[in-house]
Amino acid sequence: MPYSIMLDAGHGGRDPGAVFNGRQEKDDTLRLVLAIGEILANNGIDVQYTRTTDVYESPYQKAMKANNAGVDFFISIHRNSFPTDNVVSGVESLVYDLSGIKLQMAENINEQLEAVGFVNLGVKARPNLVVLRRTTMPAVLVEVGFINSDTDNLLFDNNFDDIAQAIASGILDTLEMDNIIDPPVYRIQVGAFRNPTYANRLLNELLEQDFPATIVDQDRFFRVQVGNFDTLDDAAAMEQRLKRAGYPTVIVSR
């Protein structure tokens, strides 16, 4: 099966994002996401979108859309901003923590964008961002230059196709499209129910405590599971948190 990716165009609708001289972040991100998605789809990726028009959804709604779709990766595209115009320029990518395939993907995307001409500001951990904290799959948020930097806007406009290709290439390089081997992914199961009402009740209870929980409908059971971890050590650490919170646990893999 091909990998599936949900692409998120940052902001939208009543939320313009960062604005500079009439330029709105939500417009740049949507245009870029649609271009990236076309390249990925042409390379055999199952591409889904949080939005394809100028509509607003909260970051939480976007994260839940990705979780419910069961995609393998979540990529959010943004433009950065700085309090003073034309002082800072460059690209940076944000991840929940500096580990696993999400870090590798973020680094690959940054390197590709650096080759286009952007300053590479590196990859940073941002565990408090909703689309990184609430998603249950590896997630990367890419800040494609500063919208209040004339240098970055010139790069963005004059090299748009190359930028879309760079981000897509960073993703594809990480997935090693010529030789895909699905790595194991670990989750912590805290309940399995035949009645979806009970599963949703437990899901909401876990989400209220900031546990990245989701429901997996499998073998006529609604399984409430937490996380999407690349390593068994990370899964074990989450399992200990859940145990301390009083939940029965078992680590499962797929």
> Tens of pLDDT along 15-49?
999 999 999 999 999 999 999 999 999 998 999 99
Q: Which of 224, 222, 228, 204 is nearest to 214 (CA)?
A: 224
Indicate whether 39 and 121 sit together in one domain: yes
Inform me whether the pLDDT recorded for 253 exceeds 90: no
Indicate whether 116 and 208 sit together in one domain: no
Indicate whether 44 and 96 sit together in one domain: yes
The residues, ordered by sequence, that sit 6+ positions from 174 with a Cβ below 8 Å of its Cβ are 101, 104, 105, 108
Question: Cα separation of 179 and 197, whole Å?
Answer: 41
Indicate whether 111 and 144 sit together in one domain: yes
CATH no. for residue 193? Answer: 3.30.70.1070
Q: What is the largest CA-CA distance in the chain?
A: 57
Indicate whether 138 and 240 sit together in one domain: no
Give domain status of residue 180, yes or no: no
Q: How many CB atoms lie within 10 A of CB 104?
A: 18
Give domain status of residue 93, yes or no: yes
Give domain status of residue 181, yes or no: no
Inform me whether the pLDDT recorded for 177 exceeds 90: no
Indicate whether 136 and 57 sit together in one domain: yes
CA-CA-CA-CA torsion sign (238, 239, 245, 249)? positive
Inform me whether the pLDDT recorded for 176 exceeds 90: no
Structural domain harbouring 49: 4-175
Give domain status of residue 96, yes or no: yes
